[in-house]
């Protein structure tokens, strides 16, 4: 994925028979996804202008330029939507786009490598960093809190972690 692109949503299939789609938004303010239109695929081969038309379970309904049939809308199911980083708002110092955290090296407070960030998850109680690395039989979920992750250094490509006892 290009460093210039951030995934902000995905198509979830057709809505009705006139080409509307169901749309999942990954934005902090979900309806802001429409403000970043046009959106593109990860490889940039397709671009989509969209306008929200309503609210659906777990997302929105939207009209996409050039999509007029249920079959065309269904063909988009699962396609992820990306915006250029320059279109997105700047974040405060203590907030990060998930895309910026994935791939960072995680070190403990003593400088020992724990692994790399494989993904960022949120199951409702807060963000978790999925850490994968050598010596780990399976991924470890590290709470993304100030106590467990006191330092994120994007410029150096690393995270300093103070994980709870026994996590690693």
Domain boundary residue among 40, 58, 87? 87
Query: pLDDT, tens digit, for every residue of 42-89?
Result: 898 999 999 999 998 889 999 999 999 999 999 999 999 999 988 888
pLDDT for the residue numbered 92: 83
Backbone angles phi, psi at 145, to 5 degrees: -120, 165
Query: pLDDT, tens digit, for every residue of 15-39?
Result: 999 999 999 998 888 999 999 989 9
DSSP state of 71: H
**1 pLDDT above the threshold of 50:** no
**12 pLDDT above the threshold of 60:** yes
Contact 139, 131 (CB under 8 A): yes
Domain boundary residue among 87, 112, 129? 87
Which residues span the domain enclosing 75?
A: 5-87
In a domain, 167, yes or no: no
102 in the same domain as 74: no
Q: Please, what sign has the CA dihedral across residues 130, 143, 96, 40? A: positive
- What pLDDT band is residue 93 in, cutting at 50, 70 and 90? confident
- What pLDDT band is residue 2 in, cutting at 50, 70 and 90? low
**Number of domains comprising the chain:** 2
Q: In CATH, what number is assigned to the domain containing residue 52? A: 2.40.30.60
Mean pLDDT over the full length of the chain: 91
Pick from 32, 118, 123, 21: nearest CA to 8: 32
In a domain, 168, yes or no: no
């Amino acid at each position: 994925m290009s460093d210039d692109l951030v995934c902000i949503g995905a198509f979830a299939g057709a809505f009705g028979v006139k080409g509307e789609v169901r749309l999942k938004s990954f934005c902090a303010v979900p309806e802001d996804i429409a403000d970043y239109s046009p959106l593109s695929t990860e490889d940039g081969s397709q671009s989509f202008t969209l306008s929200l038309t309503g609210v659906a379970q777990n997302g929105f309904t939207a009209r996409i330029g050039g999509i007029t049939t249920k079959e065309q809308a269904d063909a988009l199911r699962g396609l992820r939507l990306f915006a250029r980083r320059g279109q997105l708002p700047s974040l405060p110092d203590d907030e990060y786009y998930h895309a910026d955290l994935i791939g960072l090296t995680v070190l403990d407070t003593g400088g020992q490598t724990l692994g790399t960030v494989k993904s960022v998850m949120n199951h409702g109680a807060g963000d978790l960093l999925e850490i994968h690395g050598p010596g780990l039989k399976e991924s470890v979920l590290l709470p993304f809190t100030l106590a467990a992750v006191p330092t994120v250094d994007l410029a150096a490509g690393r995270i300093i972690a103070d994980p709870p006892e026994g996590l690693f």
